[in-house]
Amino acid sequence: MNTSFASLTEFRSLLRAMPACDDAAMAEARAHDAMLTKPPGALGRLEDLAVWYRGWRGGARAEIAAPQIIVFAGNHGVAARGVSAFPAEVTAQMVSNFEQGGAAINQIARVNGASLDVVPLSLDRPTQDFTVAPAMAEDEFTEALRAGWEAVNPEADLLVVGEMGIANTTSAAALATALLGGGAEFWTGRGTGVDDAGLSLKTEVVAEGVALHADKGDGLEALRRLGGRELAAMAGALARARALRIPVILDGFICCAAALSLARTAPGALDHCVAGHLSAESGHRRLLGALDKEPLLELNLRLGEGSGAGLAIGILKAALACHAGMATFAEAGVSDA
């Protein structure tokens, strides 16, 4: 399923016709795991990861040889409300930094053998401030979804989507509030590090946006109204990965808010995704709970860029190396229980 889409209606139809996990491949992987030279279950979640990965990729000796990291960047009209500790121009400045190899994600990608693509999305044209209008018009939203869809390398065997966008934790908190309820205070955190006064202003801004846009449609409509171009592109890339049966490691609070909008549009839309890490952003633990995902790492990161998920690539590579490379009890002449 590689066809792109021309409209939001077409994207919704694609979402509802996504491939499922291969149960037979998973059963075979589970049976193979049971023969490996270790007490049953002793590799803990590594065993589940290998089985899950093989369910999406098949291949008796699957390994991760071509992981792709994509960082999407967008600017937000709501930044003008003073919701971030940093000015909006940092988004474009960080894109230059990514391009020159100077950001954290450049180092994390290199160490983990991943390719890194940086996709700036109309940075000179911020979204609308969502407290006064929908963040994106339908054509802008479709264009951003499509940019994400098209950025995925069909040859990749693992995908990480990251983001850069000053004020995007405000968007992410608004999306979580609109789609999961619980109130703006429950979901609004400090992002790049706003102080107490900044946090109460930000919470008020989230509440205003949600009051204007909540209950106006499904997850995608919430993403159009309260999200941003980089969140929409992440959603488009997650959907394309599913169409290509490429497993995904989710990153932090913003990535998971974008993912939530897909899950709320098409149940099961995130079955090909695992959670890479628990961000220090306060709402992330609850958001992962709502997505029914358990993070692989907890390192107190709150950077974005795909950094936490990028670090988890190494864990997944190790899980598959064990699954494919370990001897069975019979091969090694080790006595079974």
By the rule CB under 6 A, 281 interacts with ligand NCN: yes
Quick check: 97 binds ligand NCN (CB under 6 A)?
A: no
Identity of the residue, 102 or 182, whose beta carbon is nearer to ligand DMD in the bound complex: 102
DSSP codes joined into one string, 41-106: TTTHHHHHHHHHHHHHH--TT-----EEEEEEE---GGGGGS-SSS-THHHHHHHHHHHTT-SHHH
Please identify, using beta-carbon distances, which residue of 54 and 302 lies nearer to ligand DMD: 302
Of 67, 227, 304, 310, the one binding ligand NCN by CB under 6 A: 304
Q: Is residue 167 near ligand NCN by the rule CB under 6 A?
A: yes
Least distance to ligand DMD, CB of residue 309, Å = 13
**Among 47, 230, 281, 305, the one annotated catalytic:** 305
CB-facing half-sphere around the CA of 32: CA atoms within 13 A: 24
Q: Establish whether 47 is a catalytic residue.
A: no
Please identify the residue of the shown chain whose CB is closest to the bound ligand NCN. Answer: 304
Q: Shortest Cβ distance from residue 236 to ligand DMD (Å)?
A: 20
Q: What is the DSSP letter of 36?
A: B
We find the least distance from the C-beta atom of residue 104 to ligand DMD, in angstroms, to be 7
Structure tokens belonging to residue 89: 């121009």
Q: For residue 84, give every residue at least 6 positions away whose Cβ sits within 8 Å of its Cβ, in sequence order, or none.
A: 166, 167, 169, 170, 191, 192, 194
The tokens for 94 are 């960080």
Cα of 74 vs its chain's centroid, Å: 15
Min dist. Cβ of residue 308 to ligand NCN (A): 7
Residue from 106, 112, 131, 170 in contact with ligand NCN (CB under 6 A): 170
**Of the candidate residues 75, 84, 106, 188, the single one contacting ligand NCN (CB under 6 A):** 84
Part of the chain binding ligand NCN (CB under 6 A), chosen from 48-56, 149-157, 158-166, 263-271: 158-166
For residue 157, the tally of other CB atoms under 10 A from its CB is 21
Residue type, 325: G
Q: Is 129 in the site for ligand NCN (CB under 6 A)?
A: no
Among ligand NCN, ligand DMD, none, the one that 140 touches (CB under a kind-dependent 5 to 8 A) is none
Kindly state the DSSP code that residue 159 receives in the 8-state scheme.
E
- Residue whose C-alpha is closest to residue 284's, from 215, 186, 160, 196: 186
Q: For residues 166 and 232, give the distance between their C-alpha atoms in angstroms, rounded to a whole number.
A: 15
Minimum CB–partner distance for residue 163 and ligand DMD (Å): 8
If residue 223 lies in a helix (H) or strand (E), which one and from where to where? helix 219-226
Q: What is the dihedral sign for C-alpha 190, 193, 196, 198?
A: negative
Judged by beta carbon distances under 5 to 8 A according to partner kind, the member of ligand DMD, ligand NCN, none in contact with residue 169 is: ligand NCN
For ligand DMD, which is the closer residue by CB, 120 or 247? 120
Q: Provide, rounded to whole angstroms, the least separation between the CB of residue 191 and ligand NCN.
A: 2
Give the binding site for ligand DMD (CB under 6 A). 86, 90, 94, 164, 192, 303-305
Q: Active-site positions?
A: 305
Contacting residues toward ligand NCN, per CB under 6 A: 84-86, 163-170, 191-192, 251-254, 279, 281, 284, 302-305
